[in-house]
Amino acid sequence: MTTSKAPITSVLVANRGEITRRVFRTARSLGLHCIAVHSTADASMPYVGEADAAVHLPGTAPAETYLRADLVIDAARRAGADAIHPGYGFLSENAGFAAAVIEAGLTWIGPPAEAISSMGSKIEAKKLMAAAGVPVLAELTPAEVSEAELPVLVKASAGGGGRGMRVVHRLEDLAAEIDAASAEALSAFGDGTVFCERYLATGHHIEVQVLADQHGTIWAVGERECSIQRRHQKVVEEAPSPLVERIPSMRAALFDAARKAADAIGYVGAGTVEFLADEGGDFYFLEMNTRLQVEHPVTEATTGLDLVALQFSIAAGDALPPEPPAAVGHSIEVRVYAEDPARDWQPQTGRLYRFELGSAGAGGSAGSAGVSGSAGVRGSAGGAGSAVAEFAPGGPRAGAPWLRLDSGVVSGSEISPYYDAMLAKVIVWGSTRAEAAARLAAELSRAKIHGVRTNRDLLVRVLRHPAFLAGETDTAFFDRHGLDLLAEPLADKATEELSALAASLADAAGRRSTARVQRGLPSGWRNLPSQAQRKTFTVGDSQYQVTYRLTRDGLVAEGNVVVIEASAEQVVLEVAGVSRRFQVAAYPGLVCVDSSLGSVALAPVERFPDPSQQVAAGSLLAPMPGTVIRVGVEVGDKVTQGQPLLWLEAMKMEHTISAPAGGIVAELAVSTGQQVELGAVLAVVQAQEET
């Protein structure tokens, strides 16, 4: 990091989505001009419209857009930026990019290039930390691994985010998993170097936020626990850590180790030192993220700091006060992903018709929330689509919201297959951990998220789980408590059936309200008794056929359900003397019903389906748009149930397409490198008896 020779007046954020909106909000509050870069796929994303200026990077893949340092710096020059903020991901931990920004005469809102470089290799970083007195897990070369060391974790030396990581439980699997991890790391980071270390299956992922100025002051600004993960990527983050709260001596030791780590590499700016801890409080260095973290809002919520404002302040040469503010209360953040947890976290793409959460989602917009600053810098909410929720030291000020939404999407956004599946981060503050968990679960359960499947219901179940509330949040949480149970919808079968009825009645009411004659009467009305009206919906693998009829007493539904009210957007039903309100929203091929019992997405079943839309038996369809990166079989091969046939890459993740049953590969419709759309036929496997 270099001190700017002149005041910063404009900043380009070399990123996309949620983090760009987050940086814009603080930058605008500081009076700065905000510049965006965007790929072709991101042209209509909210952050682009909120920028004062935007530069198009032609293409869709990160390698040809957001990872092109030369194009980003050229964009900054053309748009008149004084500084570049990298956000997180993409080029944020690229030492060459940091050096190039400084060489171009721009202010780099990040740590020195040398510090980034020293932490860029996890292998070399662990050696540096061990020399500085920071506890580390011993590195194992593949040749050293024996049965006694199992299980081991294969890790990419460069990069992070769960890519290039494999857990190995059997020695005979080690070579293949190393090859797979190396290939993934090479594709993601341009470096296929991997190493092994002992795997703590029930460890705690603890990290310490550090801030360091150019005058030698290093802050350890509270710790965060991020142990609940899927595919080595964080899902739930909180501050302070429940584990550290249980072991009073642990916090001081963690902070001391984090400050030693930052000092050892001459760190300047905001960064995070990550540790893996066991139940006894012993901890080991994992890595140092030389950038802002996705989960930084929970630290802001408990301290009142604006970490982005402090990044700008430190880059300008300002000094930090001697000590950081004390943390007060508890904050929890969850990441809302466009994915299906019940289907191996399969990412989802398509139109996000509606995205509303609490007051932050009013009007269909969901933006970053405001936070208050420190060190002479004060941040506030701003920018189109921003949700105001200012966190002050000690938690929200009296009367201020305690809910914060940092989102890269709004109602109507298109979720593409090219980037990470995260839609938003939802953050709450509470005076206690229990209060924060209850508030967050309630807000999530009431959210209206229509159009793509998300992990929302899973998050609510986690936040309400007795083990989570007891602070038992190690990295084996999903394995221990059963992902199949945690991924179940909040709405049970009875709720799905009631929601299907509400959808049917709302459809009938909507059609009658636009009818040219007898508008006030619902569909199916007759002078004399007639057949009931029927409509069929599917929810996942379940199908519901609902019926209703109009009598002299009004609309009557089967199953002892009384219809109190029915309009195109709202239906009130009474069951066993209890009335409930169902809000209904219809979209092409989809009806979403929200109620206090849970949200249900229904697919109407066509009475006369188009024969051309049918596919051959045994067809394997693409579960998402993506790129075929490998084909493992040929036409005529005999395969067994569950055997991997081909691999897709989408949303920064690799997905295996396996045989649904044993048989013969009768057709391969794709080849390596081919782009496929959702629902495209990839292959056809015929049962053996049919051949």
Number of residues that make up the chain: 691
149-153, 268-272, 390-394, range with greatest mean pLDDT: 268-272
CATH assignment of 493-604? 3.30.700
Task: Measure the CA–CA gap between 117 and 686, rounded to whole angstroms.
Answer: 52
- 135-198 belongs to which CATH class? alpha beta
- Class for domain 324-488, per CATH? alpha beta
Rg from Cα positions in the chain: 27
Helix-helix angle 122-131:250-264, to 10 degrees? 110
Distances (CA, A) of 146 to 116, 123, 138, 203: 33, 20, 14, 21
* Alpha-carbon gap, residue 684 to 663, rounded angstroms: 10
Distance CA 496, CA 594 (A): 10
Nearest to 450 by CA among 360, 355, 538: 355
The whole-angstrom separation of Cα 130 and Cα 138 is 10
Among 370-384, 451-465, 643-657, the range scoring the smallest mean pLDDT is: 370-384
| Residue with tokens 């796929």, as numbered in its chain | 41
Which sign does the torsion angle of CA 131, 135, 139, 140 carry? positive
Q: Are 334 and 463 contacting, i.e. CB atoms less than 8 angstroms apart?
A: yes
The mean predicted confidence, pLDDT, of the chain is 87
Range with the lowest mean pLDDT among 58-72, 280-294, 377-391, 417-431? 377-391
The answer, yes or no, to whether residue 616 has pLDDT greater than 50, is yes
Contact 402, 297 (CB under 8 A): no
Spatial distance between the Cα atoms of 189 and 455, rounded to a whole number of angstroms: 27
Listed by start position, the domains of the chain span: 10-110, 135-198, 324-488, 493-604, 611-690
**What residues have CB less than 8 Å from 103, skipping those under 6 apart?**
none
Please tell me the distance from the alpha carbon of residue 218 to that of residue 480, in angstroms, as a whole number.
38
- According to CATH, what is the number of the domain 10-110? 3.40.50.20
Q: Which residues pair with 631 in a beta bridge?
A: 646
Contact 82, 107 (CB under 8 A): yes
pLDDT at 397 over 60: no
Dump pLDDT digits (tens) for 8-33: 999 999 999 999 999 999 999 999 99
- CATH number for the domain whose boundaries are 611-690: 2.40.50.100
Indicate the pTM of the whole model.
0.85
Q: Name residue 389's amino acid.
A: A
